[in-house]
Chains A and B, each alone.
Chain A
């Protein structure tokens, strides 16, 4: 399924929010990465690291301060190009948010919510065809037809997230961006939704940019991981390499902090503290292996090449 053609490519992306004349928040400060066709990419980082802002800037919710976003070869961070390709972008790039209760219109029925993108994008005209599509979508996300006439407030959080997923699949997008899609769900429901994502991704082959703070989930489903801190990518590379041989001190600290459901291991675990005092502001990405790059902001540190 996967080939080398990037579906999304972000280079030197910057998003600065001007609060007042003295204060500008550099939420995203020079981010580069690619999502290839059929690839599942994870974006991790703590609160305020800028991971959600990256997603929102890619989606065009905020115009980028600087940098380029290419979607299927088109420079969509440019207003003119965006406008010209608006139909294609709207159909082929979809986002799922954390809080499904806020993301779904409480005054629309599940049926209306799921079919709205089909109608708006004029993908299907015939009412029966739309109904057929609705039935397939509901089935794919594990809901049945009894949900059609319900409102978002009448169903549980897990079911609402399934509706949000069905809505986003309704246009058969090439890229799905999910911003903490399972963070607000219960453990047993989280597993259901992750499994659903995995299955749908395999069946539909869409590219998937997953933003999460839970590293165990990223480790579980992503091909590639980017670790963010203060608006910059600290380390990016294949999931296995990042988790087995983390190079950047921040990645090491983050990985050591993840609680593992094993009491004896946890009690003996020593946390690695991230000490940013000797870190410098401006630095280059260093290549450790063809796909693994790390932000060299510790001049004293020599990174071991992995190849």
Chain B
């Protein structure tokens, strides 16, 4: 049994706004094992980014962790103050964001931005830091790394910049990497290469990755396990095979059948009606009920618990209850590759 590097226990995060409390993350529990890539999937506003920000304590001042525990490498960091977090951030945990240009400082050479992270967390000499910085550029697949070391970000293309950001994030050997839509702004060809790079780095360093994305195709390529979030809650979690070949939550069915890639040409796309809810006043029952064709009466009244589908696979839908009618998933998710 591989021990967990990150554990969230019943985590809830709320924002205080002038219109009331917005419950961005509601009662989320999950574990991330060492060397594992966990993908968090969901639409905008489902709480996937807030959840990762809560772990890194990068939340804005208007928000607070309402309940729950964050355990990193066996240590409860829920009540850590900024000073203690600074040691963790960049050291134990790192984050990569969507837009590399806003992450990087446009006036400082790439090399200096990488060594800054190294010097901050390790007691090393300047030369050693530089040596390690060049190693990092090499690790993320940047050629002529010594030359590139002294160039400013604007000399680099979008994909190269994202590689540089990765180099900074990985500079002081973190154990957990949060990648928040890290490939969304890139072209498909570049995206594919960055995904392969992440897999390669995981295999080389054994880092755990929380990969936040809305793109199910990308998730299929990279994830070992997948958690699907809706309205601040995890509605289904399991291995990639569980989620893609045997989804149980109607929201996941909806997401899958809305993909052109899984729909035959000439057939119309199945759409999920309506829009994701605003979390100002979340409905009492399953937040997805009003968009759900298969909603039961109880869905509107009571939140469904997590049902165990298999020891690796859990889904929060009343359809899993023994009293619920048996519904065949409206999608045939067979393996596409036939040989």
Q: Does A219 contact B (CB under 8 A)?
A: yes
Q: Is the CB of A257 within 8 A of B217?
A: no
Chain A residues contacting B189 (CB-CB under 8 Å) are: 46, 253-254, 257, 274
Partner of A195 from the list B158, B245, B268 (CB cut-off 8 Å) is B268
| Interface hub of A188, A198, A221, A257 (most chain B Cβ within 10 A) | A188
Chain A residues contacting B335 (CB-CB under 8 Å) are: 262, 264-265
Q: Is the CB of A213 within 8 A of B217?
A: no
- The CA-CA distance from A221 to B266 in the complex, in Å, is 8
Q: Is the CB of B191 within 8 A of A187?
A: no
Interface string of A254-289 (1 = CB under 8 A from B): 101111111111111101001000000000000000
Interface string of B301-313 (1 = CB under 8 A from A): 0000000000000
CB of B331, distance to nearest CB on chain A (Å): 11
Given contacts A186-B43, A187-B258, contact A259 B215 (CB under 8 A): yes
Q: Is the CB of B336 within 8 A of A265?
A: yes
- The CA-CA distance from A253 to B244 in the complex, in Å, is 25
Q: Is the CB of A187 within 8 A of B268?
A: no
CB of B193, distance to nearest CB on chain A (Å): 7
Q: Decide if the interface of chain B is mainly helix, strand, loop or mixed.
A: helix
Q: Does A59 contact B (CB under 8 A)?
A: no
Given contacts A158-B275, A262-B244, contact A186 B214 (CB under 8 A): yes
Chain B interface size band reads 35 or more
Q: Does A190 contact B (CB under 8 A)?
A: yes
- The CA-CA distance from A269 to B254 in the complex, in Å, is 26
Q: Is the CB of A265 within 8 A of B259?
A: no
Q: Is the CB of A259 within 8 A of B187?
A: no
Q: Is the CB of B188 within 8 A of A254?
A: yes
- The CA-CA distance from A195 to B276 in the complex, in Å, is 18
Q: Is the CB of B337 within 8 A of A268?
A: yes
Q: Is the CB of A260 within 8 A of B220?
A: yes
CB of B256, distance to nearest CB on chain A (Å): 7
- The CA-CA distance from A190 to B190 in the complex, in Å, is 23
CB of A257, distance to nearest CB on chain B (Å): 4
Q: Decide if the interface of chain A is mainly helix, strand, loop or mixed.
A: helix
- The CA-CA distance from A260 to B241 in the complex, in Å, is 14
CB of A302, distance to nearest CB on chain B (Å): 25
- The CA-CA distance from A274 to B193 in the complex, in Å, is 12
Q: Is the CB of A259 within 8 A of B258?
A: no
Q: Does A90 contact B (CB under 8 A)?
A: no
Interface string of A210-233 (1 = CB under 8 A from B): 000101110111000000000000
- The CA-CA distance from A135 to B189 in the complex, in Å, is 43
Q: Taking CB as reference atom, which chain A residue is nearest B337?
A: A265
CB of B299, distance to nearest CB on chain A (Å): 18
Chain A residues contacting B262 (CB-CB under 8 Å) are: 261
Q: Is the CB of B336 within 8 A of A262?
A: yes
Q: Is the CB of A188 within 8 A of B43?
A: yes
Q: Does B261 contact A (CB under 8 A)?
A: yes
Q: Does B218 contact A (CB under 8 A)?
A: yes
CB of A6, distance to nearest CB on chain B (Å): 24
Q: Does A47 contact B (CB under 8 A)?
A: yes
CB of B199, distance to nearest CB on chain A (Å): 9
Q: Is the CB of A46 within 8 A of B240?
A: no
Chain A residues contacting B193 (CB-CB under 8 Å) are: 271
In the complex, 12 of the A-B residue pairs with CB atoms within 8 angstroms, ordered by the A residue number, are: A187-B255, A192-B271, A192-B273, A213-B187, A254-B188, A257-B189, A259-B217, A261-B259, A263-B221, A263-B241, A265-B220, A268-B337
Closest 10 CB pairs of A and B: A259-B217, A191-B258, A220-B260, A46-B187, A263-B240, A266-B221, A186-B43, A257-B192, A188-B272, A261-B216
Q: Footprint of A on B, CB under 8 Å?
A: 43-44, 158, 187-193, 195-196, 214-221, 223, 240-241, 244-245, 254-256, 258-263, 265, 268-273, 275-276, 335-337
Q: A186-B43, A195-B271, A262-B337 are in contact. List 10 more A-B contacts (CB 8 A).
A: A187-B216, A191-B259, A198-B268, A215-B188, A254-B188, A261-B220, A261-B259, A263-B220, A265-B335, A271-B196
